[in-house]
Amino acid sequence: MNLPDWPWTLAAIIGLAVTTVLTRSFFLFPDREIPLPAWFQRGLKYAPLAALSAVIFPEVLMTAHGEWADTWQNARLWAIPAATAYYFYRRGILGTIVVGMAVYLPLRIGLGW
């Protein structure tokens, strides 16, 4: 970092910190509970699923270069059904992760998929 750049960097860090504190304290320190509309509360039930889908689907279905995975030699495509089957069989999160990784790692590391 050049010497003239440090004031801008410091200003950016302070500005981001202030913005973070203000936006988070808005929800932490109200005098009373803020009523939310019923449609908003119903929508919040789907937020975790939507966020998880937005992260997982591109990771599974695309390659590192942003192209569609067009080959069956993709370790993720084999690990997802195995982990899903385990989850529906046992309903355990830790076991789901272990089964998915047990399928993924040998294919990825061992076979280089």
**Quick one: DSSP state of residue 110?**
I
Give the Cα separation of 34 and 102 in Å (integer). 45
Is the pLDDT score of 1 beyond 60? no
Q: What is the mean pLDDT of the chain?
A: 87
Tokens at 88, concatenated: 């529906």
**Quick one: DSSP state of residue 107?**
I
Q: How confident is the model at residue 102 (pLDDT cuts 50, 70, 90)?
A: very high
**Per-domain boundaries in the chain:** 1-30, 46-113
Q: What is the DSSP string of 27-66?
A: HHS-SSPPP--HHHHHHHTTHHHHHHHHHHHHHHHB-TTS
Q: Assign 67 to helix, strand or coil.
A: coil
Per-residue pLDDT reduced to its tens digit, 26-38:
777 777 877 889 9
Within a 10 A sphere around the Cβ of 110, how many other Cβ atoms? 9
**Cβ neighbours for 92, distance < 8 A, ≥ 6 positions apart:** 86
pLDDT reported for residue 94: 93
Per-residue pLDDT reduced to its tens digit, 53-92:
898 888 888 877 777 877 888 888 899 999 999 999 998 8
Residues in the chain: 113
